[in-house]
Structure 1
Amino acid sequence: MPHVTTETRGTTIPPRDRRRTVVGTVVGLLSVGASLGAAELASALARTASPVVSVGDAVVDNTPPALMELAISLFGTADKVVLVSGIVIVLLGVGAVLGVVALRRPAAGYAGPAVLAAAGLAAVLLRRADDPGAAVPVLVGAAAGASALALLLRSARGRLRPAPAEDGPGDASGPGAPDVPDVPATPRTTQTTQADEGAQAAENAPGEPVARGATHTENTPDGQDTPATARPQDAADPRPGPARGPGRRGFVLTATGVLAASGTAGALGRWLPPVLGDAGGPSSLALPAAAEPLAPLPSGVDLGVPGLTPFSTPSADFYRIDTALTIPRVDAERWTLRVHGLVDRPFEIDMDELLAAELVEADITLTCVSNQVGGDLAGNTRWLGFPLADLLRRAGVQSDADQILSTSQDGWTCGTPTEVVMDGRDALLAVGMGGEALSPVHGFPARMVVPGLYGFVSATKWVTDIKLTRFADEQAYWAQRGWGVRAPIKTMSRVDVPAPLDRVDSGEVVLAGVAWAQHRGVEAVEFRVDDGEWETAELAKVPGIDTWVQWVAETAVDPGRHSVEVRATDTTGHTQPSERVDPVPDGATGWHRVRFTAE
């Protein structure tokens, strides 16, 4: 009886699904990149917000206060970068998925740009800024993304199309053939006799040609034996492999072109705003001298201690805290400020009229309510501007208007107590700081500066609107989120020298820092080392009660680890409390402690 053997063989299939995923991901990423690049350029030319900024503003404006506070605590001043980066990453991720889907279902892929455009238009409507022009970059970006997708899909099909078959005209893999998805090969069972094995061995012997006429039987799916013609060993799989010719080259060239165009558009979008806005920017503004210039700062305001914060903060080092994802570029030649609401004589003022008025100077320290104990969100400089009280007198403020609701160019609102501005302090509509025009970062062309109040209730940058109203009738941006509405700055002090975990020589050690209590002034600063007795520090001179003051002391310490703690007392007799309180809702409190090592 002839010996019968059974062998099961499967056909090896090229990994086309993996290739399809990679190509689809590239298609999706490049399509999103084209959309973002075109939108960035369109926003620059239209001088409006890009879709990413519109979405980011909408997210910020509609985020629950608790989540916003968590983001601020986690990321600090980097929160804007994190938010914008997150939006871009999400868009790229969605694009990668849509690109893979589009290779099989183009209609679903084209729905992606439409849905993203709808989301962008919704963000334009939801963001606080009244800027309907921001819809233009959204539409331009969607059109560019859809066009790039169509171009890349056409090229990708050529990349994925199988190479022309060599087995005859009946093969369905030439140009224009459908992109048929891969399916698992059906295993086939081959039965051969011993005689067949011998014949097959002879056929496959080295140097011998394969017998073209030899046959064997194969079991077909329906169980019937059918004859099959033997094939060479290297022809086990008649299916064609991946394309190696113009399809791949064409896709690479198309993808490279889309990438280059997107990058160029995005770069132009970033480069153009400063160029287009320079005509009415800070360099175009010639600040007049104050009507009655202040005397130079008195000698002794700076103690000259290495590592100690300087009395005057350079504009480049001044802290920046705001909700703007991108810095508004305001043309000073077109800028106007509207004063209205509960007033007898509403009016508008432009930059020419403002600069022609009698401007004044004031030395004022600003502090952000987000500043933690020992934090650096405070800065001091000499400001130039027009008295806000005079501006309000011109309008004729009505007696029941207890709130000044100011609005920035980007739609952010701030509520300031009217009586504070009218009580005689140097509250300004400022146009200059540190002897120069305001920079865009710090509110160009005009901003509010009110000494004694945290910035979120007093220091509106890029201000374009002042409305006299009532706290009971309208709430400003942060008041809507549960923060304070009056928020006077709390008495605070800080250790700058030695720095945290610093190593110093044992013996006499210099201690130094700054303290502030704007519009009250600092009466005394005390320090203690290693929880010992409180001692009085020496204070530097100051030009007035609206600035911070430097303090310095010397103490003897032995080698080892030590700590220094500081507290301030203002001119009302109030000493800053030891209890640590978070900045929410109206400013932090607590004593600042620094640990250092003496050697």
Structure 2
Amino acid sequence: MEQAARRIIAGLIAAGAALAAGQLTAAAVAPDSAPFFAVGNMVVDHTPAAVREWVIGVFGTSDKAVLFACLSAVIAALAAAAGLVERERRYGSALIAALGVIGALAAATRPTGGFTWVWPSAIAAVAGVLVLRVLVGRSDDAHEDAPDRRKFFGAAAVFAAASAGAYWLGSRWSKGAVVAEERREATLPAPVAPTAPLPAGIDVKGAVPYITSNADFYRIDTALRVPQVTTAEWQLNIHGMVDRPRTLTWTDLNAMAATQRAVTLTCVSNEIGGDLIGNAMWTGFPIKPILESVGVHHDADMLLSTSTDGWTAGTPLDVLIDGRDAILAIAMNGTPLPVEHGYPVRQVVPGLYGYVSATKWVVDWEITRFDKARAYWTVRGWSARGPIKTGCRIDAPRAGGRLGTGTQIIAGTAWAQHRGITKVEVRVDQEPWQEARLAPEYSIDTWRQWWIPLQFASGQSTSGEHVITARATDGTGEVQTEESAPPAPDGATGWPRTLVRVDA
């Protein structure tokens, strides 16, 4: 039993050494070539849409942490197995080598990968095998000899410390520190067209803040390791069905007239009543003049944008030139874009779900057609154009909340980006709908808060559980549909409901 425990320890430390060697090598090759992230990205790319939606629905913005935990658990289990089977025939070494091959294939086949991306996994496998053989040999020598047992644990401690140091160095040598320093030193251009001040009364008590802070803004993307791109290396290559292909640099972009606009972004994975939605002040440069400068062909109808990590989105061209505030954003709520939200440049397009418009770390535009190209999520069965549906949410009271008798304030948020909200109605159980009061409308491209005072009389008939339901009407007169549908393939539908208890 003691020997089996030592073998398991040997396998775990060998796996740590392999991951550390891979991380250190990836610092010189490309951060995403590290075997842990390469395999994780492969898992994300090949996860069925239904499974991904379930994970997001259950874990929300913690989906990546869950994936990291699951991947780490699998690696630990395989490492323990490698230690146990590393006997005369070297089955454990073969298992680690096989994992190295998987990592190499995952890295080399990434959209931005190549032959050099194989090296981190190859070196990781070599390091893992060497450490495993040394430690298993020490483990077998320490079968009955106490001094040899001390030698085993001493060697294990040295390898563990060296692995931790190598992993730390690999992380420090990445561009993360450079980008963080660049963000701290950055100055933002003064908008030629600044946004109007927020009117009084736009924030409703009980609802979420009208402006979502950078820290609280939702993040849903496929990047397991946040891309690190400096402004000096950033470029936007524009090509395809255009008369004048061009490449925009950071200097070119900042020579244009900046604008500032409030825009609400929504994730297509947002469930009814969910929180995968946020509203921010974005500073950037209008997309329409950039498209006009390259001479888009009259029969093109899609902009296929690509992130630096290879993720793609297909955006209808007509919404980029119809006058709405579609921009290449470089700042969020008055500060340079957080790295997690696309630093140095991302797209912001009102009225479309993020999976067809809001490309972070954007570096490539191909002007094309929907019948010629498909983007990351449309390949996986999601709809191609992704207009945001009219929706609303009950922010207060929370589900399961307890209310007293008398006047109780029900508050929430409604949205129909680029159409605006004209009405929100609320009802208790199956009683008649009552029209809520609306906060001032700042923009049809942002959400709108609402509230309504409801009376709960004292008495036996009022006491107990009640269901509060809400529905919104947009600027076109369309009422939010009651029909319930999941997020896939083009956004969830239904009325938000919350169950409360009235103590009469």
Using structure 2 for the length normalisation, give the TM-score.
Answer: 0.95
For the residues of structure 2 that align with 1:78 and 1:248, how far apart are their CA atoms?
A: 41
* Cα distance between partner residues in 2 of 1:425 and 1:87: 42
Question: Which one of 55, 78, 87 corresponds to residue 71 of structure 1?
Answer: 55
Match of 2:133 in 1: 150
Aligned equivalent of 1:555: 454
Larger Cα Rg: Structure 1 or Structure 2?
1
Shift of 1:120: 0.8
- Which residues in structure 2 correspond to 1:529-544 (within 5 Å)? 529-544=428-443
Does 2:438 match 1:438? no
Aligned to 1:463: 362
Q: 2:482 maps to which residue?
A: 578
In angstroms, what is the RMSD of aligned CA positions?
1.8
The equivalent residue for 1:85 is: 69
- Structure 1 counterpart of 2:187, one-letter code: A
Distance 2:185 2:195 in 1: 25
* Contact 1:281 1:330 (C-alpha < 8 Å) held by counterparts: no
Q: Which moved more, 1:108-117 or 1:387-396?
A: 108-117
Q: CA deviation at 1:530?
A: 2.1
Q: Does 1:329 pair with 2:228? A: yes
Alignment counterpart, residue 141 of structure 1, candidates 124, 136, 145: 124
How many Å separate the matches in 2 of 1:364 and 1:330? 24
* Structure 2: tracts of 5 or more residues without a match: 458-462
Q: Distance in 2 between matches of 1:456 and 1:275?
A: 25
Structure 2 counterpart of 1:277, from 175, 178, 192? 178
Which letter maps to 1:150? R
Q: Could you say which residue in structure 1 is the equivalent of 2:188? A: 287
Which residue of structure 1 aligns with residue 287 of structure 2? 388
1:342 and 1:398 in contact (8 A); partners too: yes
414-423 vs 294-303, which moves further:
294-303
Identity within the alignment, %: 44
- Match for 1:485 among 374, 384, 388? 384
Give, in whole Å, the separation in 2 of the partners of 1:538 and 1:528: 14
Check conservation: 2:41, 2:224, Cα contact below 8 A: yes
Partners of 1:278 and 1:284 within 8 A in 2: no
Q: Select 2:168's aligned residue among 242, 262, 267.
A: 267
8 Å CA contact retained: 2:57, 2:271: no
2:176–2:228 contact (8 Å) kept in structure 1: no
Residue pair 1:53, 1:84 contacting (<8 A) in 2 also:
no
Aligned to 1:422: 321
Q: 1:160-204: CA deviations, max 9, x gaps?
A: 2xxxxxxxxxxxxxxxxxxxxxxxxxxxxxxxxxxxxxxxxxxxx
Number of the residue aligned with 2:460: none
1:103 corresponds in structure 2 to 87
Residue of structure 2 in register with 1:344 after alignment: 243
1:48 paired residue among 18, 31, 46: 31
Letter aligned with residue 109 of structure 2: L
User: Distance between the aligned counterparts of 1:280 and 1:55, measured in 2?
Assistant: 29
Residue of structure 2 in register with 1:163 after alignment:
none
Q: TM-score, normalised by structure 1?
A: 0.80
C-alpha distance in structure 1 between counterparts of 2:217 and 2:67, whole Å: 23
Shift of 1:274: 6.2
**Contact 2:179-2:228 within 8 A present in 1 as well:** no
Structure 1 residues 277-316: aligned runs within 5 Å: 277-278=178-179, 281-303=182-204, 305=205, 307-316=206-215
SS of aligned partner of 2:376: coil
Give the Cα separation in 1 of the matches to 2:207 and 2:59.
Answer: 26
**Equivalent residue for 1:453, pick from 352, 358, 361:** 352
1:103-127: per-residue Cα shift (whole Å, max 9, x none)? 3333x33323321211111111333
SS in structure 1 at match of 2:364: strand
Deviation (angstroms), 1:272: 4.7
Query: Distance between the aligned counterparts of 1:595 and 1:281, measured in 2?
Result: 48
Cα deviation per residue 1:196-255 (whole Å; 9 max; x = unaligned)? xxxxxxxxxxxxxxxxxxxxxxxxxxxxxxxxxxxxxxxxxxxxxx223x2111111111
**Among 82, 98, 110, the residue aligned to 1:127:** 110
Per-residue CA deviations over 1:446-503 (Å, capped at 9, x if unaligned) read 0011100111111000100010011111100110011011111111011111111111
What is the distance in 2 between the residues matched to 1:482 and 1:260?
46
Partner amino acid for 1:356? A
Describe the SS at the equivalent of 2:31. coil
